[in-house]
Amino acid sequence: MDHFDYKNGVLCAEDVPLPEIAAEVGTPAYVYSTATLERHYRLFDEALDGLPHLVCYAMKAASNQAILKTLAALGAGMDVVSGGEYARAVAAGVAPDKIVFAGVGKTEAEIRQALTGGLRQFNVESEPELQLISRIAAEMGVSAPVTIRVNPDVDAKTHAKIATGKSENKFGIPISKARAVYAEAAALPGIEVVGIDVHIGSQLTELAPFEAAYRKVAELTETLRGDGHDIQRLDLGGGLGIPYARSNSAPPLPTEYGALIKETVGHLGCEIEIEPGRLIAGNAGILLSRVIYVKEGEGRRFLILDAAMNDLIRPAMYDAWHDIVPVIEPAAGHERTEYDVVGPVCESGDTFAKGRAMPELQAGDLVAFRSAGAYGAVMSSEYNTRPLIPEILVKGDHHAVIRARPNFDEIISRDSIPEWL
Ligand code: LLP
């Protein structure tokens, strides 16, 4: 459920009509709903009711300071994957003991940064990383709290580019090596083992892969405890999918996911962490765009928008589907036309949808890409020197620009010219 609905025939973000935002800030633009962000965070929080837990929002999904502050105010922790994300979380006022630091390639500088500022735990992905963290922590005279990410070799049944829990993926240590790696960790001077971490992929639309992974983690918890390790915390990752097409059957709900967590690992007395990103931010954001031209091709019609692959890369990168809807509600029983929906970038890959049945549209009409709040703005680029597009946050009948569109001078002035030119 989200808070983007037609009201009096006009698509609104909560109580703000999208044409008002388009008139004020121009298009393309990302528009987020506070109520949807809050609702989705609370669904996870409530789904784990009864277990000690922390929902660590995977801020890679959407990391604007205003979004982070909105979630932090509800008590969210953060899952960060770089020094930059760590700095963003701290700048948004997230307490360091609510920040978990993940990623296969943490650098020495990033490890120092997090140990200096404080953190809840590193989710460690390899033995060399474990050794580096230990060395730095020992040098600093501190002990680094860690979980070790295990790779359970489970098929997440999602797009190959976002599956992470199979043995061929670069993530985690093979679960078969876990006992040896935990023994090594226990012997290292700068390491304090606090738990186990697992994350098998993103946009999962079934519970079965989670169940398989979590049962393996439960078994491993007992084994490691038997070996004398103090496993207090289980980080179960993120990955619960969202319905991208309204016509499709819906993925499991956070309540069902929470029930599965309770069933598989609830008996272990561990504190549970989860790292949802997409389900919190995805349906909380739309990409607002305007039709530049309708072009008649040979046997096809192109809807040429002012948004492009540099603004929303998911269709080009993962063949992802996003519902694209007109901002002015079409009349009941309207005719539908098939369009190839494309952007202005000079690549054929700059295609959002092929042969998409949509109400008839004209140059100047506004459209909204639904479910664009996660992995939208954060994955955008300035390819073709197209400025990063603005982000707007709506709350009730208020809205605010939370990232402004840069002008061309700002973009160009980031380059510097060597003295010989
Ligand atoms: N935790 C870890 C360790 C992760 O790697 C990820 C996502 C998450 C949590 C959050 O997963 P979520 O709840 O959002 O599914 N750019 C791709 C998605 C990449 C996901 C990467 N890792 C897309 O647009 O579909």
Known active-site residue 56: no
Q: Which of 260, 197, 214 is nearest to 58 (CA)?
A: 197
Beta strands 144-151 and 121-124, pairing class: parallel
Is any ligand 1 atom within 6 A of the Cβ of residue 318? yes
308 belongs to a structural domain? yes
The domain in which residue 223 lies consists of 34-280
Is any ligand 1 atom within 6 A of the Cβ of residue 375? yes
Domain identity same for 115 and 254 = yes
C-alpha 23 – ligand 1 centre gap (Å): 33
C-alpha 421 – ligand 1 centre gap (Å): 43
C-alpha 44 – ligand 1 centre gap (Å): 16
**How many separate domains does the chain show?**
2
Domain identity same for 261 and 391 = no
Please count the other Cβ atoms lying within 10 Å of the Cβ belonging to residue 19: 15
Domain identity same for 266 and 194 = yes
417 belongs to a structural domain? no
Domain identity same for 291 and 263 = no
C-alpha 62 – ligand 1 centre gap (Å): 11
> What pLDDT digit, counting tens, does each position of 218-246 carry?
999 999 999 999 999 999 999 999 999 87
Domain boundary (262, 280, 298) is at 280
Domain identity same for 181 and 315 = no
Is any ligand 1 atom within 6 A of the Cβ of residue 278? yes
Using the predicted structure, report yes or no on whether residue 127 has a pLDDT greater than 80: yes
Which residues sit in the known binding site for substrate?
278, 314, 318, 347, 375
Counting residues of the chain whose pLDDT is more than 70, the rounded percentage is 99
Which residues sit in the known binding site?
239, 275-278, 314, 318, 347, 375
- CA angle, 176 as apex, 52 and 210 as ends, to 5°? 45
> What pLDDT digit, counting tens, does each position of 273-330 carry?
999 999 999 999 999 999 999 999 999 999 999 999 999 999 999 999 999 999 999 9
Which residues sit in the known binding site for pyridoxal 5'-phosphate?
239, 275-278, 375
Whether the complex's predicted ipTM surpasses the cut of 0.85: yes
Distance CA 117, CA 100 (A): 12
Domain identity same for 149 and 251 = yes
- Whether this prediction's pTM lies above 0.95 is answered by yes
Domain identity same for 260 and 354 = no
Domain identity same for 25 and 39 = no
CATH number where 51 lies? 3.20.20.10
